[in-house]
Each structure stands twice: as structure tokens, then as C-alpha cells.
Chain A
């Protein structure tokens, strides 16, 4: 049965290895090696179950076919693994293969290696021919020489990763060789129970272990499954064996004749045990081969929390590095990010003793490699000199790119661990998933920052506009003061008598100057509103009726020019707590509109109603009216109903928006009722 295990294990490992990278020589040779052992195991298995001599002889051939290649493929494998390129070893390699073929031939043709089978311990075993001695000698010497090469490589390599690989293969093969000695003795005629197949299982385990734990030949998680199911198969076989060897016999003893009852019971036991057994094995495999999976979840959680906490990369990146370091205890580590301004990958944060402040250009080899391959670089597996130099520069044993949507944002670099233990695949996978998370966060950050920058730019532009507006209106103020002042002096005849024509001209000038004044004040108010300042300075008890009357009086000339009649429906006086100038401004703007958009000879109706908590004012005109769709828009800045009509109706389009803002500031509101072609009614309320 253990022969069968050897077959399954070796075959599966060999196939996995080949499947992982069928173009790498190392993997191919390992496949051949695995195949040889498997063939040998198969031969052994067939031999063990053969009932007659003829069948046993055929099995013997299969056994030999595998066995003659074991040492040559193993030697080849070791040569490739240790990267020994000496000529002597190469010649030896050819010799080993030639000898393997020679042994195969002489055995097949003349039966000189294993000439016969013999039944010992209830099973058939091969009996050695003349060539059995030289074969054993060659076999053992090649294996020992391979082991010696492994030992040398183990001694001289600096990489802990490689050291561990060599060690495990060395131990595995060494043990297997020790186990094989009884087999050889048996073949040579000395009767000792053969143990090679059991020991070769040990080889399988150590190989498996070094593959999983020390990244031998790039096999990842697929092996974990393989391992679990192999062990599972082993267990089931064991149970089956127990059934055949004991339970069945007990049954036979009890009942007296052969029965399949025991098999049914065993099968049901196996069925019931299957899932808990699988889970149990999975747990054990995880514990021994994939240790740390559990702690990693916690670290992952901590890292994602850090990322979620802040948008400041200077804060969360060092924290992430620290968290990773807490778990892995790494000598040096750093995070590089791409700086668009300088077109460089620059170190953002790092830990460790001797990282200076390295950077990479966009077209550096390492950057190009990472961009192209989109996966991590392991120093252990790198042969390229350019890459090794770059790795040396950042002291990275493991470099992981930060890639988001084909864009390389930066990289993570980690030196060897302080313990000297290499990164296993599980850890690399874990760091990779962290890098994905980081890439996402950094990309978000980039978007966020560019948005923020844009917003600030827009805000600045807007502020500059407001500043300019307020500067311009301030600059207008002093000259206008002088103009209005002197006009007053002229008109009041303080500077001498004036004739009627001059008086007329002065009157028009005064009107226009005042219009300019209103415009400038509107602009200034707008600038202040845009800066978020309040335009109302103080509140006092004022009479709203007085404010209205003053406004109407002030603008009566405008109305009389268009023959507009102003009708007032007002109470005696209404006292409110507000700002006199601002209330006047509201009335003035609304009245100005009512005159401007009215027809010649039209009417304007003022109505003020004193409600309990507020005052409601209404200004109704007989003008062009407003379309329903325009009702909200008229309160927007610089808006006039029809742009083409601007020539007819002068003005900035600021009036209503300022009215609205003033009213909102004092807690009032304004709305409009209108019928196109009939007229509009503006109604506003002010709290008292």
C-alpha cells in the first residue's frame, strides 16, 4: 500500500510542478525525477500484489524502468537547483544518463541487473544479477555525490530561502537512501525487510514541505489541496487496510464464513469520517505548512482600518509599514510612490537602519519589469543583474508593485526578515493583497487631492473675481462722491447763479450719477455676498411706510417720465426692527423694475399689510409679465428674462437677486405672481 502512496504522491507532485511552469528546465527535470520514482513505486506495487511468477517478472520490468533513472534525474535536478555549471559535472550528467540507459538495456535484454524474482515475506522480491553490484554502486555514488553538492550549496549560499530548500531535499534524500539500503541488500541476496518505499515517503514529505514553505519551483496553494487529499487518501487506505487485515478476519472468525459486512461498515465509517477528517487534516496542514493565516486576518483588518481613518498619506503609510513590520520583523522596508511633478518614484516612508533615500526613474529596469509583469519580485529568484542592482539599492528581498488599473502608482519593498526565514508563498500572497488595498487607497487619495486642488483653484478664481469687483467699485466711489458733491453745489447755486438750460443739464447729470451709484453699490453688495459677508450692518426700529414714501419720492421722476401712476394702499405707520437703508434698497429695486418693465401710462400699486408677526408688502405693475418657467430664474444674479431685450431694458440684472439676498438675511422671503402680458405682482414678507 505504501507503494501506491509513493506512486500517487510522486506523480501528483511531479505533475503539479510541471503544470506550474512547463517551460522551466528545473520543473521539467523534477517532473522526470518524480516520474521515475512513481514508476519505481508502481513496479513495487505491482510486484507486491502479483500472485504468480510471470506477473511478478513483468512488474519487475516496471520497477527497473523507474529505478534506473532515479539517480540520474535526481543528479540532474540537483545540478539545476544548485546552479552548478562546471564542465566536470556536465560530463558526469551525460555519463549518468548514459549509464541509466545502459543499465536499462542490459537489464531488459539479458536480465543482468535483476534477473529473477523470489518470494520472501509472502511477497515477490527481485533477485540481483551480475550487474546489480555495479548498478547499486553507481546508484549510491550518484546520490551521495548529489547530496554532497547539495551540502556544498547549502554551505555557500547566503540566501536563507535556498538554504532551507537544500536542507530539506538533503534530509529527505538522505533518509530515503538510508531506507533504500535494505532493498539493495535484498537484491544482493541479503534478506532484510525492505524499507525503501517507506523512506521515499519521507522524501516526498520533505520535498512537499520545501515546496510549500520555501517556494521550491513556484508552486502555490494548489499544493495545499494536493497535500490535504494525499493525506486523506492515506488515511482512508489505512482504514481500509485495518478492515482487510483485522476486521474482516474477526468477522470471519465470528461468523465462520466470508462476508462483505465488514466492508460495508468500513465504507460507512469512511463516509461519515470523510468531512471531519478532511477538515481536521486541513487544519493540521494549515497549522504546520501555512502557519500564520489566522494572525494575518487581524493584520489585514488593522491595515484597512488605518486606510479608512485618514486621507493623509503621510500618516497612514508609515502606520501600514509599522503594522507589517510588527508581524514580519523585517530589517528594512519602504514605500515608494510616483511623483508626477518630478516623474520619479520617490521614497515616501521607510523603516530600518540603512535605507538612504532612493528613488527610481520612470524608465528604470525595475519599474519597467514591475509594470510589465504586474507581480512581485523575489530576490531569491532573480537572476537579472539590472534587477538585482535595483534591489540592492532599496535593500529589497521582496518588492511588490502598487498597481491600479494598469497604472503603477508605486511599490512596496521589504528586506529579509530579522529571523532570516524566507517569505513563504502565503506571506507573499498576503502582502500582495495588502498592496492591492494600498493601491486602491492611494488612487482614491490621488483623485481626492486633484479634486481638492481644483476646488481650491476655483475658489481662488472666484475670490479674485470678488476682490476685483470690490476693488473696482471702491475705486469708483471717491470720484463719484466728488461728482455728486459738486453737482449738488451747482444745483443749489452755492457756487453762483445758473441758467435754466444749465439746470436741466445738471439735473440729468445728477440722475445718471445716482444711477451709477446704485449700480456700484449693487456690485459691491454682490462682492460682499460672494465673500460670504453680511451686508446688513445693524438693525433698529424703523418705519417701513416712511422708507417706502421716501423711495417713491426719490424715484418719482422716473415714473413720471413714463406717465406711470403710483397708487398706494398703506396703513398709518408700521414699525419693524430692520435696517433702513436695506429696506429702502429693496423698495428701490422693486420699484425700479416695476417702472422699467411697465408700459407707458401704466400703473403701479403698492400695498402694505401689517400682519401679527410680519409685514407683507406687495408691488403690482401692469407690465410685460413673467413666464412661469422664468419665475425662479429672475431671482438669479445677472438674469434678465430675455437677453435680446436687454437693449430695451437697461440694467445689470442684479436688482432682484440682491433683493432676495437682503430679504433672506433679515429672515423674510419674496415670491412673484404674474400673468404674461398683464403684469406682475412681487410680494415679500419681513418679520417685525
Chain B
């Protein structure tokens, strides 16, 4: 198991260095899930990786926070009260907001719907996930976005 995590540790060093270079360039991440425990875990996980974490527990709250703050990455659950994950994606697409989104869900997803919302199927992670896999994916997306 140890070997599994080893490559990730080496990758860690790069973004941390960039953080040091430009302190204003904080990596803003929004975690959206109706399960509080998951939200706190992910918050812990990404804060330890040097992200600035915002949280939301439903789609409506999430949309509000997305439009208020400039975000770098959104971790989004699909099944949520009020406004679900698909609707959030749809709303963002309509407002031409192309903040990268990673879908995290415990349920099977409607691929066609996701594609309609402009989500790359690769940016979909099933629970339970390897924390290191998720971190790698988020970091890759962040780098992709910022150049």
C-alpha cells in the first residue's frame, strides 16, 4: 500500500513551490456535497494540500458561492436537495462559467446528461476513491486551467 502513495508525494512539491512564489494566487476550491462528513473530510484533505476551501451543502448554495467568488475548481456531488449536480452544471454552462468541475458521487451517473452539461467524463470520480487519486486529478486540472 505504501508504494501506492509514493508517486503522489513527489508530485506534491511542485504546486507547493508555486504557492510560495505567489501568495495571492490561492487555489480556491469549492466542495459541494449534502453529506457533511464527506465535506469535512475533503476540506481537511485539500486544506492540508494548501487549498483555500469553501463548502456548500446543496446546489443552490453552491451556485450562489460560485457566482460570488472566483473559483478554480469545484468538487460536485450529483444527488443533492433543492438543486442537483446536473442543474448546477447546466446553470454554469448557461452563464458561460467554465470553472473546471469534478463530479464525485456514490451513484451511477447519466453520462448523456453530463456530456450535455459540458463535463468531461474523465472528471468523474466514484466513491470510495483513493484520496491521492483525487488530489492528483484536482492538481492536474488546476494546472491545466492556469496554463
Main secondary structure of the interface of A (DSSP, over half): helix
**A557 close to B (CB within 8 Å):** yes
Chain B residues, Cβ within 8 Å of A554: 3-4
Chain A residues, Cβ within 8 Å of B48: 489, 492, 494
| Contacting pair B44 A511 (CB below 8 A) | no
**B84 close to A (CB within 8 Å):** no
| Contacting pair A553 B3 (CB below 8 A) | yes
Q: Decide yes or no: A537 and B38 within 8 Å by CB, A528-B108, A557-B1 being known contacts.
A: no
Q: Decide yes or no: A478 and B44 within 8 Å by CB, A484-B128, A492-B5, A517-B128 being known contacts.
A: no
Q: Decide yes or no: A489 and B44 within 8 Å by CB, A481-B129, A484-B131 being known contacts.
A: yes
CA distance in complex: A610, B44 (Å): 45
CA distance in complex: A528, B126 (Å): 15
Q: Which residue of A lies closest to B125 (CB)?
A: A481
| Contacting pair A511 B1 (CB below 8 A) | yes
| Contacting pair B1 A478 (CB below 8 A) | no
| Contacting pair A486 B41 (CB below 8 A) | yes
Q: Which residue of A lies closest to B131 (CB)?
A: A488
Fill in one digit per residue for B1-22: 1 if any A CB lies within 8 Å of its CB, else 0: 1111100000000000000000
CA distance in complex: A507, B5 (Å): 12
Q: Which residue of A lies closest to B8 (CB)?
A: A492
Q: Decide yes or no: A481 and B127 within 8 Å by CB, A486-B41, A488-B45 being known contacts.
A: yes
**A482 close to B (CB within 8 Å):** yes
Fill in one digit per residue for A544-583: 1 if any B CB lies within 8 Å of its CB, else 0: 0000000001101100000000000000000000000000
| Contacting pair B127 A556 (CB below 8 A) | no
Chain A residues, Cβ within 8 Å of B108: 470, 528, 533
Chain A residues, Cβ within 8 Å of B126: 477, 521
| Contacting pair B44 A481 (CB below 8 A) | no
Chain B residues, Cβ within 8 Å of A477: 106, 126-128
Min C-beta distance of B119 to chain A, whole Å: 12
CA distance in complex: A486, B41 (Å): 7
**B132 close to A (CB within 8 Å):** yes
Min C-beta distance of B123 to chain A, whole Å: 11
CA distance in complex: A553, B2 (Å): 9
Fill in one digit per residue for A507-541: 1 if any B CB lies within 8 Å of its CB, else 0: 10011011001001100000010000100011010
Interface-central residue, B3, B106, B124, by most chain A CB under 10 Å: B106
Chain A residues, Cβ within 8 Å of B44: 489, 494-495
Q: Which residue of B lies closest to A480 (CB)?
A: B128
**B91 close to A (CB within 8 Å):** no
Interface-central residue, A470, A482, A485, A495, by most chain B CB under 10 Å: A485
| Contacting pair B131 A485 (CB below 8 A) | yes
| Contacting pair B121 A537 (CB below 8 A) | yes
Chain B residues, Cβ within 8 Å of A484: 128-131
Which chain B residues in 102-147 approach chain A with CB under 8 Å?
106-108, 111, 121-122, 124, 126-132
| Contacting pair A478 B4 (CB below 8 A) | no
CA distance in complex: A510, B3 (Å): 13
CA distance in complex: A102, B35 (Å): 118
Fill in one digit per residue for B79-108: 1 if any A CB lies within 8 Å of its CB, else 0: 000000000000000000000000000111
Select one of A474, A488, A494, A557 contacting B107, CB under 8 A.
Answer: A474
CA distance in complex: A483, B128 (Å): 9
Which chain A residues in 463-501 approach chain B with CB under 8 Å?
470, 474, 477-478, 480-486, 488-489, 491-492, 494-495
Min C-beta distance of A51 to chain B, whole Å: 112
Chain B residues, Cβ within 8 Å of A533: 108
| Contacting pair B1 A514 (CB below 8 A) | yes
Q: Which residue of B lies closest to A511 (CB)?
A: B1
Q: Decide yes or no: A482 and B1 within 8 Å by CB, A477-B127, A537-B111 being known contacts.
A: no
Chain B residues, Cβ within 8 Å of A485: 41-42, 45, 131
CA distance in complex: A385, B108 (Å): 70
In which size bucket is the chain B interface? 20 to 34
Count of chain A residues near B, Cβ 8 A: 34
CA distance in complex: A521, B126 (Å): 10
Chain A residues, Cβ within 8 Å of B4: 553-554
Chain B residues, Cβ within 8 Å of A517: 128
Chain B residues, Cβ within 8 Å of A481: 38, 41, 106, 127-129
Chain B residues, Cβ within 8 Å of A521: 126
Q: Which residue of A lies closest to B109 (CB)?
A: A537
Min C-beta distance of B46 to chain A, whole Å: 11
Fill in one digit per residue for A76-92: 1 if any B CB lies within 8 Å of its CB, else 0: 00000000000000000
Q: Which residue of A lies closest to B37 (CB)?
A: A482
Select one of B3, B41, B45, B129 contacting A556, CB under 8 A.
Answer: B3
Q: Which residue of B lies closest to A494 (CB)?
A: B48
CA distance in complex: A488, B122 (Å): 23
Chain A residues, Cβ within 8 Å of B45: 485, 488-489, 494
Q: Decide yes or no: A507 and B2 within 8 Å by CB, A484-B130, A486-B41, A489-B44 being known contacts.
A: yes
| Contacting pair B1 A510 (CB below 8 A) | yes
Min C-beta distance of B104 to chain A, whole Å: 9
CA distance in complex: A521, B130 (Å): 13
Chain B residues, Cβ within 8 Å of A474: 106-107
Min C-beta distance of A556 to chain B, whole Å: 6
Q: Which residue of B lies closest to A475 (CB)?
A: B106
CA distance in complex: A451, B39 (Å): 51
Chain B residues, Cβ within 8 Å of A488: 5, 45, 130-132
CA distance in complex: A474, B48 (Å): 28
| Contacting pair B38 A478 (CB below 8 A) | yes
Chain A residues, Cβ within 8 Å of B38: 478, 481-482
Interface-central residue, A478, A511, A554, by most chain B CB under 10 Å: A478
| Contacting pair A538 B128 (CB below 8 A) | no
Chain B residues, Cβ within 8 Å of A478: 35, 37-38, 106, 127-128
Chain A residues, Cβ within 8 Å of B111: 537-538
CA distance in complex: A520, B127 (Å): 10
Min C-beta distance of B136 to chain A, whole Å: 12
CA distance in complex: A101, B57 (Å): 117
Min C-beta distance of A325 to chain B, whole Å: 54
Min C-beta distance of B133 to chain A, whole Å: 10
Q: Which residue of B lies closest to A513 (CB)?
A: B128
Which chain A residues in 322-361 approach chain B with CB under 8 Å?
none
Min C-beta distance of B70 to chain A, whole Å: 27
CA distance in complex: A209, B142 (Å): 104
Fill in one digit per residue for A210-243: 1 if any B CB lies within 8 Å of its CB, else 0: 0000000000000000000000000000000000
CA distance in complex: A548, B111 (Å): 27
Chain B residues, Cβ within 8 Å of A494: 44-45, 48
CA distance in complex: A448, B108 (Å): 37
Q: Which residue of B lies closest to A493 (CB)?
A: B48
CA distance in complex: A481, B1 (Å): 17
Q: Which residue of A lies closest to B108 (CB)?
A: A528
Q: Which residue of A lies closest to B134 (CB)?
A: A485
Contacts A/B (CB < 8 Å), 22 sampled: A477-B126, A477-B127, A478-B35, A480-B128, A481-B38, A481-B106, A481-B127, A482-B37, A485-B42, A488-B5, A489-B48, A491-B5, A494-B44, A495-B44, A507-B2, A510-B1, A514-B1, A520-B128, A537-B121, A538-B122, A554-B4, A557-B3
Besides A482-B38, A486-B41, A514-B1, 5 more A-B contacts (Cβ < 8 Å) are A478-B38, A478-B128, A480-B127, A480-B128, A538-B111
Residues of chain B having any CB pair with chain A under 8 Å: 1-5, 35, 37-38, 41-42, 44-45, 48, 106-108, 111, 121-122, 124, 126-132
